[in-house]
């Protein structure tokens, strides 16, 4: 149980285009979903927290107009990287939680490798 999937697993796009990444909780309802970014040999950095049906809460320094997050249902959240640039190339990881906030266990997806050329 508690499986989280991400799609695509990897994507290559040209600079200036937009890319959408999906995060799904397959066997539970996720009240809260989190989006992280991880650069090579670095830790996971929280980008934003989203609760179903409400606007995402972005961490300081993360541009909400560039990283659009939609959490329209209890099993799906999407992250859209708009007007991607090479510096946005990274490993994007989502996690889903059945409760509110991080005190409930987070189940992580397998990640999406984004390369912007």
Partner 1 sequence: GESVGLHLPTLSVQEGDNSIINCAYSNSASDYFIWYKQESGKGPQFIIDIRSNMDKRQGQRVTVLLNKTVKHLSLQIAATQPGDSAVYFCAENIRSGNKLVFGAGTILRVKS
Q: Is 49 an interacting residue with respect to partner 1 (CB under 8 A)? A: yes
User: Going by C-beta distance under 8 Å and a sequence separation of 6 or more, which residues neighbour residue 85?
Assistant: 15, 16, 116
| Among the listed residues 8, 101, 115, 117, the single contact to partner 1 using CB under 8 A | 101
| Among the listed residues 93, 96, 114, 116, the single contact to partner 1 using CB under 8 A | 93
| Chain centre distance of CA 45 | 11
- The tokens describing 110, both together, are 């397998």
| Among the listed residues 15, 17, 18, 42, the single contact to partner 1 using CB under 8 A | 42
Closest CB to partner 1 among 93 and 116? 93
Closest CB to partner 1 among 46 and 68? 46
| Among the listed residues 18, 83, 100, 115, the single contact to partner 1 using CB under 8 A | 100
Question: What is the DSSP track for 36-91?
Answer: EEE-TTS--EEEEEEETTSPPEEPTT--TTTEEEEEEETTEEEEEE-S--GGG-EE
Q: Which residues bind partner 1 (CB under 8 A)?
A: 4, 6, 34, 41-46, 49, 91, 93, 95, 100-103, 105-111, 113
């Amino acid at each position: 149980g508690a499986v989280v999937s991400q799609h695509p697993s990897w994507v290559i796009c040209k600079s200036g285009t937009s890319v959408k990444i999906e995060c799904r909780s397959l066997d539970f309802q996720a009240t809260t979903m989190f989006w992280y970014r991880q650069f090579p040999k670095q830790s996971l950095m929280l980008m934003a927290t989203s609760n179903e049906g409400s606007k995402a809460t972005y961490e300081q320094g993360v541009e909400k107009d560039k990283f659009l997050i939609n959490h329209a249902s209890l099993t799906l959240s999407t992250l859209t990287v708009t007007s991607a640039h090479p510096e946005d190339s990274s490993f994007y990881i989502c996690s889903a939680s059945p409760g509110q906030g991080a005190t409930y266990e987070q189940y992580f997806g397998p990640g999406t490798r984004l390369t912007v050329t």
